[in-house]
Structure formats: C-alpha cells, structure tokens
Amino acid sequence: MLARVWSASIVGIDAVKVGVEVDISGGLPGIIVLGLPDSTVQESKERVKATLKNAGFAFPMRKIVINLTPADLRKEGPCFDLPISVGILAASEQIKADLLENYLFLGEVSLDGSLRAVAGVLPIAAAAEKMGIANIVVPADNAQEAALVEGLTVYAFENLLEVANFLNNPGRYKPVRFDGATEKLHVKSLDRADLRDVKGQAHARRALEIAAAGGHNLIFVGPPGSGKTMLAKRLPGILPTLSFSEALEVTRIYSVAGLLKNRGSLVCDRPFRSPHHSASGPSLVGGGSFPRPGEISLAHLGVLFLDELTEFKRDVLEFLRQPLEDGFVAISRTKQSVVFPCRFTLVASTNPCPCGYYGDTIQQCTCSPRQREQYWAKLSGPLMDRIDLQVAVNRLKPEEITQQSPKGGESSATVRQRVQKARDRALERFQSEPNLRCNAQMQSSHLQKWCQLDDASRNLLESAIKKLGLSARASDRILKVARTIADLAGEENLQPHHVAEAIQYRTIDRMQ
C-alpha cells in the first residue's frame, strides 16, 4: 500500500514542503530511501526500524520504498524520522491514514520511541500557511517554538505511540497554546550590563549613544584597561527593544542554526555576538556544504563585537565588506545557494599600536613608526571606510578611577529613551521608504533629500575632506552621523555643530 506524509526542509532560513511517500510491496525484505537524502536521513531508516519494534509496532518484513519529494532538493537532518515512521505505520495499515493529508510532521525519534527536538521548527511553522498546511505535529520540546506562529494549530507529543493514538483518534487531543513567553520580551534586556557602571569616558558614551540611535558602526581605539570592551558590551542595552516581528526574524535564524536555548521562547534580546579573533571566514559569514548562518547573521538586528580587531586575519575581515554594505550575505555552494540576512551594528575595539600606549598621557609608547604603520596596515582602508564612528578612548584620570559612585553616569534605561526618540524621528522621515530602519542605512539619494547642508556646514565638510583626505563614502558617512546627532537633538535641519561633531569621529583618519 502507498501512504504520503507531509514534512518540510530548510533552505537558508526558508522552508520548503517535502512529501514523504512510503510504498510497501512484495519482494525481498528491505528498505530504501530515494530523493537526495543525506547520511542522517539514510541512517533514519535503521533508526526507524528499531524504533517501531521497541515502541510496540510491527515492522513490515517486506520491501519498503521511501521517496522524498521534490527529488532535486537535498534533504538533511533527523527531522524526517517522524514522518517516515508515520508513513510506514500508515502504509502497513497500523494507523488510520485518512487524515494524514492535513498534518505536517517534524521530529527525530529515539530508539525507544520517544521524540526529540529538531532545529528549524520556527521557519517551517511560519511558512506553513504558504505551504497550505493548517496543522503541525512536533516533538513536545519544540511545541512552544511552533506555537509562536499565529493561526497554526500545533500538536506536540512525547513519543511515537502518542502520535499513533492521536492519528487514530484526533478529536481526543487538544492543540498546544503559546505560553506567553513574549511577556518576558522587555525584561531580560534590563538585566544586562548597565552604562551606569562606566566611570568617566563621556566622549565614548556619547559615541555609543549616537551608534545606537543611528545604527552606525563604531570602533574604540585606546590603551589597555581604558574600558573599551566594557563600553562595547553595553551597546545592546541602549538599543530599542525588539518588536515582536523583529524578535521572530532573529529567532528564525537561531532556530535554523540550532541555537535556540529554551526551545520555544523567542529570542527577545538584541543579539550580541563576540567571535574570537581566531575565527575563520565561514564561521563569521556563514558556510558549510549545507550553508548555516555565521556570526554576522546571528548578530542580525543586534551587535557584532570584534574585540582586538587587529588580531583578526586580514582576509577574514575582508569577508565583511559586502555584508556590511548590503545587510545580507549570499552563500553559493555546488549543492545549494542561500541568502542569510545580517543587518548588524559592528563594534570593534583595538589598541592604537602593538605595545598599546601610543598617544597615552602617562606610559611611553615603545613602538617604532614602522611597527605602528604595519599594525594599521592590517586594517584595510575599505573596512575602516565603513566604520562611521572612530572613537579614541583615553585612560581614566586617577580621580575618576577612585570615584565611588560614578558622577553623571546615566543608566542604560535613560539613554535608551533618548535613542528611541531619535529612532522614532528617523522612522517618521522614512515613511515613504519602508526598507530603511535607521540612518546608517540611507543611500546617496536619501542624503540629498534629508541631509542638506547650509553654506557654513558645507565649508566645514569641504575643509575636513581636504585635510583628512576623506573618500566620498567617508564624507557620506559623516552626513549620516550628523543626521543622527540632529535627530538626538530633535532638530529638523543639519547645523554646523552637528557636522563638526560628526567630523570629530574620524579619529583614525586624523591619526594617519
């Protein structure tokens, strides 16, 4: 007899409907899987065989052909265990098959018949409506993840026997309800490291606020122990909290990467990813023969922090150039080609020279000019060009260090309110441009519309371009930063002091 069960596979962060057809016929006992299965799916036939026996079902001693459609799509992962098991049970008439069409099945099955959670359930659940599916059957541990999607009926079970009982008598089972993890949405980000703990460094704090308000990339340059890492870690805490749809967007990426910690809960906090400087290109931008999202996609809508930037391999940093500009990364492989979103704010930190003390007020720098030159040569011009805010972080004064409670140290919550207001102003301006979310994403045409300069501002910018030898891109970036500074001040037009402050954040151009 022939049975067909629906399941799905992930391509990038999107879902494709997969049909699992099971035919049982006379012939020598055996089981074959067709339709580009990878080795995990191949192994699934052995797992299913043992599972059915251990769960108390009969394993048909006949010829079983399992065909996965569409035939040209590579099927990978253990999520087909459950649909294959259900298909065999239906084809061997051990369960009722008349309602199978209405459900989509996902799940790994252990040898004792219990169901184990699989990665990528959220993108599949989110695409169910498009695939014409109204009901989904998943392992209990994936239940909340699937239930995040409105309008989808989710059934979740602990083991295969329960799934079989359900299919024989669906009326007796209730669908899963979402338990309201979204209410925790705004709570967690408040527990983060707070700006209140940072002493002094008013200049760097201001830069952090501008970066948050406009989504600008930022680099801190300064001697060891001045607080660069400490400041960078506080950026996610002053970014506006994720909206529900943004949280879903981030959660989809984490779901595909198999990184959802509590299956079921949304990723409610802005991501903060801090890869080590030994990271390889593919781990940063994504890769593998079946591409997985890399650090830049895991930082989507959040912060990618590259601490000790000069320690990263140069060719690895070069990978960042295109994604920084486009907000997505396209990965082509012979077997598959996918696109992952990656709109993140880049924050980097570095010492000003190999010994770390160039320009320091107390400690003498021991590096030769040549050593310093080689050190900076590691960071290519094109990468630095994409960093809007270059900020010198100097060592704290002794009296600042010994302060008991930092003076004037605003909390992250206070700064976040100002950031939110500035972002709201920008969004109001972008009403006719739904793809723009923050000032840093503006293109040249937008600058002409929204960053018009008066004569005094234009003269200021021109002399900065001459003195610092700025590229056209760097000057565009100054305009974007000036726009954000004006938004923070609640002003409609760019003033010379907005442009002047924006020019100040070209520390590195000024050092060279």
Ligand X SMILES: Nc1ncnc2c1ncn2[C@@H]1O[C@H](COP(=O)(O)OP(=O)(O)OP(=O)(O)O)[C@@H](O)[C@H]1O
Binding residues vs ligand X (CB under 6 A): 198-201, 222, 224-230, 349, 351, 396
For the CB of residue 199, give the shortest distance to ligand X in the complex, in Å: 3
User: Is the alpha carbon torsion for 495, 496, 498, 502 positive or negative?
Assistant: positive
**Residue nearest ligand X by beta-carbon distance:** 227
Tokens found for residue 464: 């900065």
Where helices occur in 235-313 by DSSP H, the ranges are 235-238, 244-256, 281-285, 295-298
92 and 116 Cβ atoms separated by less than 8 Å: no
Which CA distances in Å does 55 have to 4, 113, 318?
A: 21, 5, 53
Pick one of ligand X, Mg ion, none as the site partner of residue 144 (Cβ within 5 to 8 A by kind): none
- CB-wise, 67 or 229, nearer to Mg ion? 229
| DSSP element (H, E) containing 155 | strand 153-157
For the CB of residue 276, give the shortest distance to ligand X in the complex, in Å: 13
3-class state of residue 365 by DSSP:
coil
For the CB of residue 132, give the shortest distance to ligand X in the complex, in Å: 53
- CB-wise, 63 or 196, nearer to ligand X? 196
- From the list 217, 236, 232, the residue with the least C-alpha distance to 480 is 217
8 and 18 Cβ atoms separated by less than 8 Å: yes
341 and 300 Cβ atoms separated by less than 8 Å: yes
- CB-wise, 199 or 498, nearer to ligand X? 199
- From the list 512, 440, 445, the residue with the least C-alpha distance to 483 is 440
For the CB of residue 364, give the shortest distance to ligand X in the complex, in Å: 17
For the CB of residue 305, give the shortest distance to Mg ion in the complex, in Å: 10
For the CB of residue 274, give the shortest distance to ligand X in the complex, in Å: 12
Pick one of Mg ion, ligand X, none as the site partner of residue 265 (Cβ within 5 to 8 A by kind): none
DSSP letter at 114 equals B
Pick one of Mg ion, ligand X, none as the site partner of residue 288 (Cβ within 5 to 8 A by kind): none
- CB-wise, 20 or 235, nearer to Mg ion? 235
- CB-wise, 189 or 349, nearer to ligand X? 349
- CB-wise, 226 or 265, nearer to ligand X? 226
Pick one of ligand X, Mg ion, none as the site partner of residue 227 (Cβ within 5 to 8 A by kind): ligand X
For the CB of residue 353, give the shortest distance to Mg ion in the complex, in Å: 15
Pick one of ligand X, Mg ion, none as the site partner of residue 343 (Cβ within 5 to 8 A by kind): none
Tokens found for residue 40: 């995990």
Pick one of Mg ion, ligand X, none as the site partner of residue 159 (Cβ within 5 to 8 A by kind): none
Sequence-separated contacts (24+) of 489-496 with Cβ below 8 Å = 490/421, 490/425, 493/452, 493/454, 494/451, 494/452, 494/453, 494/454, 494/457, 495/454, 495/457, 496/454, 496/456, 496/457, 496/460
Pick one of Mg ion, ligand X, none as the site partner of residue 51 (Cβ within 5 to 8 A by kind): none
Burial 89-114 (b: 16+ CB within 10 A, else e): bbbbebbebeebeebbbbbbbbeebb
- 510 phi and psi angles, rounded to 5 deg: -75, -25
Tokens found for residue 240: 């506006």
- CB-wise, 23 or 194, nearer to ligand X? 194
CA dihedral 466, 470, 472, 476 (to 10 degrees): -100
Pick one of Mg ion, ligand X, none as the site partner of residue 446 (Cβ within 5 to 8 A by kind): none
- CB-wise, 233 or 437, nearer to ligand X? 233
For the CB of residue 304, give the shortest distance to ligand X in the complex, in Å: 16
- Measured CA to CA, the distance from residue 5 to residue 454 in angstroms comes to 66
Where helices occur in 430-506 by DSSP H, the ranges are 444-450, 455-468, 472-488, 496-504
Chain positions contacting Mg ion, by CB under 5 A: 229
- CB-wise, 241 or 394, nearer to ligand X? 394
Pick one of ligand X, Mg ion, none as the site partner of residue 351 (Cβ within 5 to 8 A by kind): ligand X
For the CB of residue 190, give the shortest distance to ligand X in the complex, in Å: 20
- CB-wise, 23 or 308, nearer to Mg ion? 308
For the CB of residue 403, give the shortest distance to ligand X in the complex, in Å: 9
Pick one of ligand X, Mg ion, none as the site partner of residue 201 (Cβ within 5 to 8 A by kind): ligand X
